[in-house]
Structure 1
Amino acid sequence: MLKRAFVAPDPGRLRLRHATRAVLGIGLAVVVCGLAGHSLVGAVTGGLAALLALFTVTDPTVRGQVVTTALLPVVGLPVLALAAVLHDLPVARDLAFLAVMGAGVYARRWGPRGHSLGVFAFMAFFITQFLHTLPGQLPELYAAVLLSLLVASVVRFGLWCYERRLPAAPVLAPVAARGLARATTRQAVQATVGGALALLAGQFLSGERWYWAVGATWWVFVNTTSRGETLVRSFRRVLGTLAGIPVGLLVIAPLHGSALPSAVLVALGVFGIFYTAAVSYTWMMFSVTVLAGTLYGLLGVLDPALLALRLVETGVGALGATVAVLLVLPVTTHATTDAWIQRALRCVHACTAEAAARLAGSATADPAPRVAELEALLGRVRLSLGPLVHPLSPFRARRARAGQVLALLDVCVREVRGLASVAADPEASHDARLAAACWRVEASVETLTSRVRRYRAADAVDGVLPPAHVAEPALAHLHSLERALAELAAPLHSSPRSPLVGA
């Protein structure tokens, strides 16, 4: 697990750049808040606002990211005020918190922007509970949030905007549906029910730190679609929190809020969150626990009992999410995963067509954006198949077949990336055999994605595929791609009585 988080492949060092820029942006935001005369509470609020802006805004274009970042205070500041005003009205506060939670999940139907605004709104309410914000503190907190968002934006879009040189990631829109058939609607209901269960149980455990349970339920639902994904994330959230508790006891608590070492730990926590988020939710939660523990140390309230309470509240929140996804309008893993695999396969064909057109001399063909889309889609397939490939999954046969699908899709991405690289070489020339190979890839994808015909691997290889060793690089990538698509037939089109995925 540690190797996966910190030694995992990082093409273009994007995760490293993302994490380093986050430390820089958040650190500068906190420093500027301090220079502006804000209190520790104001600086913490500003730092968390900068963190959310850098972490949750994922629009596919830089222009879209700028617009979404500008909209964050539009939804966040009113929620901040609402939570502060309701601070001494527990029933109204709890109902408002659940309403914000449900609306935040429902907003995912509008893509990355809706997701970002929903997360920021929820966390604005959460932060007021974390810091016990009162109405009289709102002017300072408003100023801190706006100043921190400005500083984070200067870093992200001015000083270090590496996205301008990268192909855009796709907008992974949810499947079109209406009413309760829409996954985001069902999840909004699930999150609200799970949040209500967590809120009641959390308040039973602690009248002061109950919001931890609600926060745990919320973050379990973020970036998940099916019940299987949510269950795995619940487990990993508890595991990451448990792993971070010893650091709080042995490293953070003895510091007694000392400024310099605490600042270093905050920076390490932020770096860990951004660097591991894409590859290991467990280690991301470990980093979140270290960050939260350090902040509590700075506020002077950290002790072993508080850390133990955080672990219990996290478990309660994860349990609330588990009960909700199992009993309330469940979204099956099979339906979700099948849709993402279909999209990934169709993207393989689109990548191949663009590369072939580029090799044929087209000046407008560019496979790079399609390759970026395919890599993002593979990440979504990996997330969706996570419940089946998890070591604790009791479905051995399905786990093996899901692992085979992921391995073969990895091959597809690798070969498509190589093909695009060859196509980008101005010295590369078109080979007549490329057209035939691209046609075979197209036929393979069409058959694999067909819901009517049953595809046999032999259909793709009998008398068609040439030897594996081919001198022409583009052809070598295409032939390896053909083989991977042919081998995908077995796990994808097995007997309907034993589907690849199901929950």
Structure 2
Amino acid sequence: MLKRAFVAPDPGRARLRFAARAVLGVGLAVIVCGLAGHSLVGAVTGGLAAMLALFTVTDTTVRDQIVTTALLPAVGLPVLAAAAELHDHPVARDLTFLAVTGAGVYARRWGPRGHSLGVFAFMTFFVAQFLHATSGQLPELYAAVVLSVLTAAAVRFGLWCYERRLPPAAVPAPPAGTGLARVTTRQAVQATAGAGFALVVGQLVSGQRWYWAVGATWWIFVNTSSRGETLVRGFRRILGTVIGIGLGLLVAVPLDGAALPTAVLLAGCVFGIFYTAAVSYTWMMLCVTLLAELLYGLLGVLNPALLALRLAETGVGALGAALAVILILPVTTHTTTDAWIQRALRCVHVCTAEAAARLAGADGADPARRVAELEQLLGRVRLSVAPLVHPLNPMLGRKRRARRVLALLDDCAREIRGLVAVAADPEASHDARLAAACWRVEAAVEALTGGPAEHVGVHPAEPPVAEPALAHLHGLERALAELAAPLRTPSGPGGSPLIGA
């Protein structure tokens, strides 16, 4: 697990830059709040707002990121006002919190911007509970949020805007549908129900820290699309929390809020959250847990009993999420995996066609952009298949087939990257055999995503070719042909394929 989090490949040092910029942006936001004369509560609010602004905004272009960042206070400040004004009205506060939860998940249907604004709205309400914000503190908290978002934006879009030098990163849209057939609609209902369970049971466990349970339910739902993904994420959240609490007993409790070492460790936690988010949810949750413990130490309320309570509330939240995805409008892992694999395979064909067009001299062809989209889609496939390859999954046949599918899709991506690299070479020439090979790729993809299984095949064995583009296309054909078996063949009596026939 440690190797996966900190030794995982980091092409272009993207995760390192992402994490380092976060430390800079959050640190400057806290300093700005301090210079503005804000209290510790205001500085904590500002730091968390800056962290969210840097973490949640994932639009594909810098221009869209700027717009989304500018909209964050417009969504967050009214929610903050509602949370503070309803502090002494528990029933109205709880119903409003549930409404914000459901709306935040439902907003994912509008893509990255909806997701970002939904997360910011929920977390603003959560932070108000975390800090026990009251209406009298609103002017200071408003100023802290606005100043911190502006500071984070200045770092992200001015001081260190490395995205301007990169091609836009494609962000796959959620699976389509209407009404209750839409995944985001189902998840909004599930999240609201799960949060309702967590809220009620969480308040029975603790009348003061109940919001931890609701927060656990919320974050388990973020970036998941199926029942299996949500259950695996819940397990990883609990595991990360347990490890984080153990670390907190060794580090945060003895520090007891000492300013300088706490500030250094907080910076390390922010770095860890951003650096590990893309590769290990468990390690990200470890860093989040330790960050919360250090903040409670600064606020003077940290003790072992509080850490035990956090673990209990996290368990309640995970149970609420699990019950919701199992009992209410379930979205099966098979359905979600099927959708993402089909989209990835179609993107393989589009990448191939774009690369072939580029080799043929078409100036408008841009296979590099399609490769970025393919990488994003394969990331979604890995997330969707994660429940099938999890060590605790007892279905060994499906686990083996799922691992084989992932390996072959990675082979497809490797051949596509090689083909695109060849196409980018201005000296590369178009070979007449490319058209036939691309047609076979198209036919193989069509068979895998909707055609009869017997049509899935590879061109008869040919002698090795010296032309690099053809070599990559032949490798791609072989990988697509080998995908037919694990994708379309049930594993034993009552088994089901990974992708619909």
> For this structure pair, what is the TM-score category when the shorter chain's length is used for normalisation?
over 0.9
In 2, Cα distance between the equivalents of 1:310 and 1:433?
Answer: 63
Shift of 1:446: 1.4
Q: Aligned residue for 2:279?
A: 279
Q: Aligned residue for 1:453?
A: 452
In 2, Cα distance between the equivalents of 1:46 and 1:495?
Answer: 53
Q: Aligned residue for 2:136?
A: 136
In 2, Cα distance between the equivalents of 1:423 and 1:3?
Answer: 35
Shift of 1:246: 1.6
RMSD: 1.4
Q: Aligned residue for 1:483?
A: 478
Q: Mapping of 1:186-197 within 5 angstroms?
A: 186-197=186-197
Shift of 1:177: 2.2
In 2, Cα distance between the equivalents of 1:413 and 1:198?
Answer: 41
Shift of 1:411: 1.0
Amino acid at match of 1:489: A
Amino acid at match of 2:478: R
Q: Contact (CA 8 Å) 1:456, 1:489: kept in 2 or not?
A: no
Whether 1:466 and 2:462 are equivalent positions in the alignment is: yes
Q: Aligned residue for 1:105?
A: 105
In 2, Cα distance between the equivalents of 1:302 and 1:500?
Answer: 50
- The TM-score, its normalising length taken from structure 2, stands at 0.97
Whether 1:499 and 2:490 are equivalent positions in the alignment is: no
Q: Aligned residue for 1:148?
A: 148
Amino acid at match of 1:460: V
Whether 1:23 and 2:23 are equivalent positions in the alignment is: yes
Shift of 1:402: 0.8
For the residue of structure 2 that corresponds to 1:460, the secondary structure is coil
Shift of 1:178: 2.2
In 1, Cα distance between the equivalents of 2:83 and 2:253?
Answer: 30
Q: Deviations over 1:201-229 (max 9, x none)?
A: 11111111110000000000001111111
Amino acid at match of 2:283: W
Q: Deviations over 1:127-156 (max 9, x none)?
A: 000000010111011111001101111111
Shift of 1:477: 1.7
Amino acid at match of 2:458: A
Amino acid at match of 2:453: R
Q: Deviations over 1:408-453 (max 9, x none)?
A: 1111111111211222122222223322222221221111111x41
Shift of 1:353: 1.1
Q: Contact (CA 8 Å) 1:174, 1:183: kept in 2 or not?
A: yes
Amino acid at match of 2:183: A
Q: Deviations over 1:150-203 (max 9, x none)?
A: 111111111111212222223422333222221111111111111111011111
Structure 1 residues 455 and 21: alpha-carbon distance in aligned structure 2, compared to 1, 3 A threshold? farther
In 2, Cα distance between the equivalents of 1:70 and 1:282?
Answer: 31
Amino acid at match of 2:96: A
Q: Contact (CA 8 Å) 1:401, 1:500: kept in 2 or not?
A: no
For the residue of structure 1 that corresponds to 2:453, the secondary structure is coil
Q: Aligned residue for 2:167?
A: 167
Q: Deviations over 1:368-403 (max 9, x none)?
A: 110000000000011111110101001111111111
Q: Contact (CA 8 Å) 1:402, 1:500: kept in 2 or not?
A: no
Q: Deviations over 1:236-286 (max 9, x none)?
A: 000000011121111111112111111111111111111111111111111
Q: Aligned residue for 1:292?
A: 292
Q: Deviations over 1:295-318 (max 9, x none)?
A: 111111111111111111101100
Shift of 1:495: 4.0
Amino acid at match of 2:190: Q
Whether 1:354 and 2:359 are equivalent positions in the alignment is: no
For the residue of structure 1 that corresponds to 2:278, the secondary structure is coil
Q: Mapping of 1:65-214 within 5 angstroms?
A: 65-214=65-214
Q: Aligned residue for 1:13?
A: 13
Q: Contact (CA 8 Å) 1:408, 1:484: kept in 2 or not?
A: yes
In 2, Cα distance between the equivalents of 1:71 and 1:379?
Answer: 28
Q: Contact (CA 8 Å) 2:415, 2:472: kept in 1 or not?
A: yes
Q: Mapping of 1:268-417 within 5 angstroms?
A: 268-417=268-417
Shift of 1:232: 0.5
**Could you tell me the percent identity over the aligned residues?**
76
Shift of 1:455: 3.7
Q: Deviations over 1:315-337 (max 9, x none)?
A: 11000100111001111111111
Q: Contact (CA 8 Å) 2:447, 2:455: kept in 1 or not?
A: no
Shift of 1:5: 1.2
Amino acid at match of 1:491: P
**Unpaired runs of at least 5, structure 1:** none
Q: Aligned residue for 2:48?
A: 48
Q: Mapping of 1:223-234 within 5 angstroms?
A: 223-234=223-234
In 1, Cα distance between the equivalents of 2:245 and 2:411?
Answer: 39
Q: Number of matched residues? A: 497
For the residue of structure 2 that corresponds to 1:485, the secondary structure is helix
Amino acid at match of 2:475: S
Q: Deviations over 1:35-76 (max 9, x none)?
A: 111111111101111111111111111111111111111110
In 2, Cα distance between the equivalents of 1:352 and 1:20?
Answer: 36
Choose 215-224 or 271-280, whichever is displaced more: 271-280
Q: Contact (CA 8 Å) 2:405, 2:483: kept in 1 or not?
A: yes
In 2, Cα distance between the equivalents of 1:501 and 1:319?
Answer: 27
For the residue of structure 2 that corresponds to 1:17, the secondary structure is helix
Amino acid at match of 1:471: A
In 1, Cα distance between the equivalents of 2:107 and 2:281?
Answer: 23
For the residue of structure 1 that corresponds to 2:126, the secondary structure is helix
**Unpaired runs of at least 5, structure 2:** none
Amino acid at match of 1:51: M
Q: Mapping of 1:422-441 within 5 angstroms?
A: 422-441=422-441
Q: Contact (CA 8 Å) 1:234, 1:318: kept in 2 or not?
A: yes
Stretches (4+) displaced over 4 A: none
Shift of 1:476: 2.1
Q: Contact (CA 8 Å) 1:466, 1:479: kept in 2 or not?
A: no
Q: Contact (CA 8 Å) 2:488, 2:498: kept in 1 or not?
A: no
Amino acid at match of 1:16: L
